[in-house]
Structure 1
Amino acid sequence: MRFGITILPEYRWSEAEPKWRRAEELGFDHAWTYDHLTWHGLQDSPWYGTTQTLTAAALVTSTVKLGTFVTSPNFRHPLTLTREVLALDDISQGRFLCGIGSGGGIDQTILGGDELTARQKVDRLEEFVGLLDTLLTTDGVDHLGEYFETRNARTLPGCVQQPRVPFIMAANGPRSLRLATRYGAGWVTTGLKSADFETWFSSVRDLSHRLDDVLEEGRPFDRYLALDSARYSLSSVDAFEDVVGRAADLGFTDVITHWPRAEGVYAGSEDTLEQIATEVIPRLRG
């Protein structure tokens, strides 16, 4: 089992930098930040750019992998995203993970336009991730699709990680799960929304079984579970051990929690984080 932590892009860098450094010092395998223009429940909170945050994090760390949680076509174009991915992969010396999903939340309409149907969102995701894959591996790309266009898109010099950076694909439905297995090095899920922990974890179990149904038997494929959708996993040592144990039983290779916030969503204690990172995670790894 590998362990990750998400640090929301809501802090001035003078406050955020020690958190990213500490995440590496505590031995987390990967650290993430949200790739949204804003996020429900925190519209009145400060919010900073994803690429800039991860660039700064790459410069103050050396071993922890860094990722987007998750990038979507809501406000990204594959070509402009390609430039950012190339830069992040280079600056981090091959530590970048590109989390990708179909897009939801306020980002769907904040730039104008109507919200897409579920089918349209998956159509757009398929075009988005397919074009991004091509752009990161091919120089000089012409593409004219329903949602995106490129004309002789030059994408030199290519990724540090070959043949390209890993895609960690968020998916729930049958089509998006098939896309995840086609393009992804791994799958990430938050489960289905529920305030009840047992109901939420039941959805995680069902989604994991759905992935089994579409994944080629025996293929290595990482599975990431975001732990905090129904209950904050760092609320106590027992809560963390319980949900990680359940995830391990389902075959998840990676779990992701959130850095404790002072109040509101993911409110918790940094002392609990320190205890779990220094005492519990090493034991669970063992």
Structure 2
Amino acid sequence: MLPEHNWPYTRRAWCSVEEWGLHHAWTFDHFSWRSLRGKPWYDSLTTLTAIAAVTERIRLGTLVASPNIRHPVPTAKQVMTLDEISGGRLVLGIGAGATDGTDARVMGSVAGVRRSDRFEEFVTLTDLLLRNPRTTFHGACYEAVEADMVPGCVQRPRVPFALAASGPRGFRLAARFAETWVTIGDAARPGARSEADGWGVLTRQIEQLTDACEQAGRDPDNIGKLVNVSRLVPDPYASVERFIDLVGRCHELGFTDVVVNHPRPSGVFQGDPAMFEQAVRQTLAVFAEDGQ
């Protein structure tokens, strides 16, 4: 669900998806976002904190936070706090961040630092901060000097990471740090490929992740695999049957989690709220009967 709504709407919508039985819910983490720039857009971690206070069961997360607009030290303190308020329901989704758009420019850039280097350092330092009561770190992009994180996360040894990765270095990073790997298919052109090509991309990415895990000495079955189907195909819940089929295909490929964007009245992620609810509820029932 995009962080674009006023609080009364946001509260109703998030409480509704918890009541339907969804296992987790997410929000984008951007300063502003693409075609919606200049329109209402709120901070994701603040929004999730408010949602954590009015929900009880559903897991909450960023899909995904990035170094484009965040520094590991204050972000880790916010994450630790949000994990406490949510009662240990937070998942920290992290990605490298887009190379274009407002986010890539709004905080300036670090001269001479590659995006992939910055991403790896961001993840490495955030991991250290959330695992330890005090951290000192000196890197090319970030520093932490006796950064205290007390009392630490509710979830131990830290809040779980969901890392977005689509290239070899990202897959190696996910194999090392992530509890869940995140994909939107072709990250360079989300939604631009045909459906057949999109499924081919996911198949190859699963294979790449498996190889990275095996090289790292990690069982590939021990990392969650999450796909946002709204970035992969058009109209994912155009009918109940279509959504059930999409979730089933994702399951067959080896995905453990499927995300779909909440409907908007127009523009990106436009959809019918009634059909969305019907598709989600019935799909949950189908897969619950199958024990999946």
Distance 2:108 2:66 in 1: 16
Distance 2:141 2:271 in 1: 41
Distance 1:111 1:82 in 2: 18
Is residue 2:97 matched to residue 1:103? Answer: yes
Query: Displacement of 1:89 after TM fit?
Result: 0.1
Q: Which has the higher contact order (CA 8 A, sep 6+)?
A: 1
Normalised by the length of structure 2, the TM-score is 0.91
**Where do 1:181-260 residues align within 5 Å?**
181-192=175-186, 193=189, 194-215=192-213, 216-217=218-219, 219-229=221-231, 230-260=233-263
Query: Displacement of 1:114 after TM fit?
Result: 7.6
**Where do 1:133-152 residues align within 5 Å?**
133-152=127-146
Gaps of 5+ in 2: none
State whether residues 240 and 282 of structure 2, in contact with CA within 8 Å, keep that contact through their aligned partners in structure 1.
no
Identify if the C-alpha distance between structure 1 residues 179 and 263 changes in structure 2 by more than 3 Å, giving closer, same or farther: same
**1:265 match: secondary structure:** coil
Identify if the C-alpha distance between structure 1 residues 45 and 218 changes in structure 2 by more than 3 Å, giving closer, same or farther: closer
Query: Displacement of 1:139 after TM fit?
Result: 2.2
The one-letter amino acid of 1:261's match is R
Report what 1:177 is aligned to: 171
Report what 2:115 is aligned to: 121
**Where do 1:78-97 residues align within 5 Å?**
78-97=72-91
Q: Residues 148-195 of structure 1, C-alpha deviation per residue, up to 9 Å, x if partnerless?
A: 011111111100000000000100111110100101101010010224
More displaced 10-residue stretch of structure 1: 209-218 or 28-37? 209-218
Distance 1:218 1:102 in 2: 22
Moved over 3 A (4+): 113-117
**Percent identity of equivalent pairs:** 38
Query: Displacement of 1:196 after TM fit?
Result: 2.0
State whether residues 109 and 115 of structure 1, in contact with CA within 8 Å, keep that contact through their aligned partners in structure 2.
no
State whether residues 227 and 256 of structure 1, in contact with CA within 8 Å, keep that contact through their aligned partners in structure 2.
yes
Query: Displacement of 1:110 after TM fit?
Result: 2.3
Query: Displacement of 1:208 after TM fit?
Result: 1.1
Distance 2:184 2:259 in 1: 10
RMSD: 1.6
More displaced 10-residue stretch of structure 1: 66-75 or 188-197? 188-197
The one-letter amino acid of 1:128's match is F
Distance 1:140 1:115 in 2: 29
